[in-house]
């Protein structure tokens, strides 16, 4: 059996990747330190003989016994509520963590895929965003700890590819949603759905004219899987190009959840992108990939997941204790 290591395995995307690779007949090693992931996301895999889990911080040296064919590096805080609380750890997982994964892949002669992000484009001056756009990022702004960690991650990955001949792949992930998202992680879809389920008014930042495009998790995972087994070494956008304003999206959520909440407006956070839409021409051409699940269908599935949460989970505040993870 081919063996794959997935870092960030207890996270939203990482856990779905574990499912995908197991379904495709791989032996999967999941790795996570639970700084933002949760054991609940991989609990259903604990009795699977082709899955093993290692609790480990990837910013420390990684040791895997035996052969290893693929490494997928998905360990990182991914929502502002997390990386604004643990900025140094966010920078370290994108730099030291990536360096450790690259060193492991080199030692094992494994192919490595890193999870980059649409945030490398910053608040874009080009719309939609193509892979050859260099971005408009404020390196010293509050979001810079995440944006620059991912930009460095891409740079060191390409350096290993060029200097060591390492087989590498880079996926730039645009907004993705679906089951196993944390309800209170600060991103717009779980925020709106949580507010609707708690009979709270929906909070929109700014005037709501800023746009986003949302890709359902199954489509995202399919794109990542196809990229790993392609021959393309440069970054590839994977996302859904169907764009919607945040205000219109809030109204969609109210209609979906059949609630009568109002929309209230608050100040826009610093450096919050005003537009976010992927150009997926490259993915269509080299991967024969494009999203298949319409937002209406995906939102229904996601809402059903959030409705299944217990009352305790629904009303739990997002006050995670990061102290044990903070070393410097």
Coil, strand or helix at 149: helix
Q: Which one is catalytic: 70, 83, 121, 146?
A: 146
CB 220 within 8 A of CB 172: no
Q: What is the distance between the alpha carbons of residues 315 and 246, in angstroms, rounded to a whole number?
A: 24
Q: What is the distance between the alpha carbons of residues 1 and 312, in angstroms, rounded to a whole number?
A: 41
Residue 152 scores a pLDDT above 90? yes
pLDDT by residue (tens digit) across 204-256? 999 999 989 999 999 999 999 999 999 999 999 999 999 999 999 999 999 99
Q: What is the mean pLDDT of residues 14-38?
A: 97
pLDDT at 283: 98
Give the N- to C-terminal CA distance of the chain in Å, as an integer.
Answer: 39
Strands 3-7 and 70-73: parallel
- CB contact burial 11-50 (16+ within 10 A = b; e otherwise): bbbbbbbbbbbbeeebbbbbbbbebbbeeebbeebeeeee
CB 104 within 8 A of CB 168: no
Residue 257 scores a pLDDT above 60? yes
Q: What does pLDDT average to over the chain?
A: 93
Q: How far is CA 304 from CA 6, 46, 321, in A?
A: 27, 24, 28
Helical ranges in the chain per DSSP H: 12-23, 80-83, 87-108, 144-164, 188-197, 217-228, 246-257, 281-287, 295-307, 311-315
Query: Which region among 185-189, 270-274, 299-303 has the lowest average model confidence (pLDDT)?
Result: 270-274
Task: Please name each of the domains of the chain with its CATH number.
Answer: 3-324 (3.40.50.720)
Residue 54 scores a pLDDT above 90? yes
Give the CA dihedral 252, 256, 261, 262, nearest 10 degrees. Answer: 10
pLDDT at 321: 57
What is the 8-class DSSP label of residue 143?
A: T
Percent of the chain's residues with pLDDT above 90: 82
pLDDT by residue (tens digit) across 76-123? 999 888 988 999 999 999 999 999 999 999 999 999 999 999 999 998
Contacts of 148 (CB under 8 A, 6+ apart): 91, 94, 137, 139
Q: What is the distance between the alpha carbons of residues 83 and 88, in angstroms, rounded to a whole number?
A: 8
Q: What is the pTM of this model?
A: 0.93
pLDDT at 271: 65
pLDDT at 131: 97
Q: What is the distance between the alpha carbons of residues 120 and 150, in angstroms, rounded to a whole number?
A: 7
Q: Is 160 a catalytic residue?
A: no
Higher pLDDT, 275 or 83: 83
Cα 99-103-108 angle, rounded to 5 deg: 150
Coil, strand or helix at 157: helix
Q: What is the distance between the alpha carbons of residues 234 and 161, in angstroms, rounded to a whole number?
A: 10
């Amino acid at each position: 059996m081919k063996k794959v290591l997935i870092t960030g395995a207890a996270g939203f995307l990482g856990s779905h990747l574990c499912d995908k690779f197991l379904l495709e007949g791989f032996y999967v090693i999941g790795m996570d330190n639970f700084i933002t992931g949760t054991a609940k996301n991989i609990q259903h895999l604990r009795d699977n003989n082709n899955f093993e889990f290692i609790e480990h911080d990837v910013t420390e040296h990684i040791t895997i016994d035996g052969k290893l064919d693929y490494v997928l590096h998905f360990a990182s805080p991914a929502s502002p509520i997390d990386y604004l609380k643990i900025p140094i750890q966010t920078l370290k997982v994108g730099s030291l963590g990536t360096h450790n994964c690259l060193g492991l892949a080199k030692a094992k002669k494994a192919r490595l895929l890193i999870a980059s992000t649409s945030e490398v484009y910053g608040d874009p001056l080009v719309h939609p965003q193509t892979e050859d756009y260099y971005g408009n990022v404020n390196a010293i702004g509050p979001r810079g700890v995440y944006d620059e960690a991912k930009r460095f991650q891409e740079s060191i990955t390409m350096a290993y590819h060029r200097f060591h001949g390492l087989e590498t792949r880079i996926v730039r992930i645009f907004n993705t949603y679906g089951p196993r998202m944390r309800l209170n992680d600060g991103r717009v879809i779980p925020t709106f759905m949580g507010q609707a389920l708690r009979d709270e008014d929906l909070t929109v930042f700014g005037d709501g004219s800023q746009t986003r495009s949302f890709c359902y998790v199954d489509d995202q995972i399919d794109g990542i899987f196809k990229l790993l087994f392609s021959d393309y070494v440069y970054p590839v956008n994977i996302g859904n190009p169907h764009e919607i304003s945040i205000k219109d999206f809030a109204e969609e959520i109210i209609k979906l959840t059949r609630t009568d909440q109002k929309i209230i407006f608050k100040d826009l956070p610093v450096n919050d992108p005003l537009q976010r839409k992927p150009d997926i021409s490259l993915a269509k051409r080299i991967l024969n990939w494009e999203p298949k699940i319409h937002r209406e269908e995906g939102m229904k599935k996601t809402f059903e997941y959030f409705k299944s949460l217990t009352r305790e989970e629904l009303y739990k505040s997002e006050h995670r204790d990061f102290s044990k993870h903070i070393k410097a």
